[in-house]
Amino acid sequence: MDRMYELPKEEEIRNAIYFALRKNKSFPSLVKLREAVIKELKKLNENYTISMKRVRIIAARSGFVKINAKMKASNKKLKACPICGGKLEPIRNYNLLGKEVIIGYKCKLCSYKASIKNELPTRYSFQLAR
């Protein structure tokens, strides 16, 4: 049975992201980045495809992509990093009474920072960091 699509390896995706960003320098949205990555992957194998979520996560964890996110207030409680899916750790500080309080959350994998107000990304932009 012949497959209609194939999933590329993480290393192939990382290389495709790098080459796409080297050509274009930046992308104003996740959709545009995904289109460019698919174009690069098709050079390796015509049947390759990738989801937007996988492109975003691999780009965030790559180390050479700077991600800017426009944020929107939300009622949802953050359980994991909305950019890469990593664990969020609390950012702690001391108040005037000397008690330790949580002032926000940060992701160790992709450097995402969130305030106490639950804000979720609505639009991403991507740039080559190096």
Give the residue extent of every domain in the chain.
Answer: 10-128
The whole model's pTM is what? 0.82
pLDDT at 1 over 60: no
> What is the per-residue pLDDT across 14-43, written as a single tens digit (0 to 9) for each?
999 999 999 999 999 999 999 999 999 999
pLDDT at 116 over 90: no
Confidence of residue 130 (pLDDT cuts 50, 70, 90): low
Quick one: pLDDT at residue 74?
83
Q: How many whole angstroms separate alpha carbon 35 and alpha carbon 108?
A: 28
Quick one: pLDDT at residue 76?
81
> What is the per-residue pLDDT across 83-104, written as a single tens digit (0 to 9) for each?
888 999 999 999 999 999 999 8
